[in-house]
Amino acid sequence: MKLATLRTSNNGTTAALAVGEDTYLPLPARDVGALLADPAWRTVVSEAAAAAAHADTVSVPASGLAPLLPRAGKVICCGLNYGDHIQEMGRELPEYPTLFAKYADTLVGASDAVEVHGSGRVDWEAELAVVVGAELFRAAEDRAREAIAGYTVANDVSMRDWQNRTLQWFQGKAFDGTTPVGPVMLTADEVDGDFEVRGYVNGELVQHGNTGTLVFGPAKLLSYISQFTTLRPGDLVLTGTPGGVGMGMTPPRFLNDGDVLTTEIDGIGRLENVFRIHAPVTANA
């Protein structure tokens, strides 16, 4: 099953949807996070499907999609989780995951324009993201695995000039409206195996990784995070990016005004976001 969050107005109202082949079924929840907060959410979806058997499915363009979890309580990211990316950033294989947080304000929809003010080093990080489906605190890995509601696509777009101002990356990772997430959540029960993650700039493939090579896989990450903070339904965990980010290139390369960033995971979907960079772009060195 695929779930999404639809924008129902220009003033922030949204609704959860079950996504079919060509149709979107409205669900009685304001977004996917609110849906998952009901432990009986699968029943809610099947009842909505039964009630709509004769009509009522809506067809909406991808541009109508809001970020999957517009009100996520916690958005936690893992840096340095693929061997090739760790290498290009010049670091050692980690003993513990490198974690940082974002706010829900960073999230944008699958086809939204990304507006960046005040950075000339805007870089890409294509990532698999995990959607939490049950409360987790001090959970073992098996329990954490059972608590995964599903998976989605994200791009941990990073303002490298801001990120590298200090040892803490936070400020370069938490610009409002710069982290595309969606278009849908693929439920965990339909996932069998690893994902291919790809990133493109203006159609050119720049990143490609397989989540089977993650140093810390989804269940391990959720378990680790839950040792110090409670994860709840609708929280989002970004699992890190494979090699091929702009900062790792020689010479380094960053997004320019008008560039289109595409982020894609087979079986889930793709994000396609045009960038509006409202700053003089500094030299790429």
Can you give the binding site for Zn ion, defined by CB under 5 A?
125, 156, 241
Q: Which is nearer to Zn ion, 156 or 235 (CB)?
A: 156
Find the shortest distance in angstroms from Cβ 97 to Zn ion. Answer: 11
Name the amino acid, one letter, at 254: F
Question: Considering the complex, what minimum distance in angstroms separates the CB of residue 119 from Zn ion?
Answer: 16
Residue closer to Zn ion, measured from CB, 31 or 125:
125
- Which one, of 175, 177, 217, lies nearest residue 193 by Cα? 217
Specify whether the CB–CB gap between 223 and 141 falls below 8 A: yes
Tell me which DSSP letter residue 67 carries.
Answer: P
Distance CA 191, CA 186 (A): 8
Q: Any idea what the Cα angle at residue 26 is, between residues 41 and 274, rounded to 5°?
A: 105
Residue 53 beta carbon to Zn ion: minimum distance, rounded to whole angstroms? 42
Nearest to Zn ion of 14, 155 (CB atom): 155
Closer CB to Zn ion, 178 or 187, in the complex: 178
How would you class 148 by CB atoms within 10 Å of its CB: exposed for 0-12, middle for 13-18, buried for 19 or more?
Answer: buried
* Position of minimal CB gap to Zn ion: 156
Q: Which is nearer to Zn ion, 2 or 102 (by Cβ)?
A: 102
- C-beta closer to Zn ion: residue 2 or 160: 160
Side chain identity at 181, as an amino acid letter?
A: V
SS3 135: coil
The closest of 184, 241, 236, 188 to 210, measured between CA atoms, is: 241
CB of 7 to Zn ion, least distance (A): 26
Residue 48 phi, psi (nearest 5): -65, -40
